[in-house]
Amino acid sequence: MQWSNQLIRAKGDIKFAAHQETQLMQFAGKRIYWEKTRADTDDSYIVLIGLDMDIDLIKQSWARLLPSP
């Protein structure tokens, strides 16, 4: 993704359209870790920490990956 080199840290519970289970995603040190979440939710959220990130571009990128509400 175009904004990924500005990303420092990310964490969230994500349910992608192509998968049934919600996954906990953590990004740190240019590494991404995925595991089954312990959260009792089907809602997706993500917290991004970075520098000079284009919020609209990020929203567009994630909207293509996440199921519609």
3-state secondary structure of 42: coil
Number of domains present in the structure of the chain? 1
Asked whether the whole model's pTM tops 0.85, one would answer: no
The Cα 51–Cα 25 span in angstroms is 20
| pLDDT at position 66 | 66
Residue type, 8: I
Residue 42 sits in a domain whose CATH number is 3.30.1220.10
Residues 16-42 have pLDDT tens digits of 766 677 889 999 988 999 998 877 776
Contact 48, 7 (CB under 8 A): yes
Question: What per-residue confidence (pLDDT) applies to 11?
Answer: 93
Residues 53-69 have pLDDT tens digits of 888 888 888 787 766 65
42 lies in which domain range?
A: 4-65
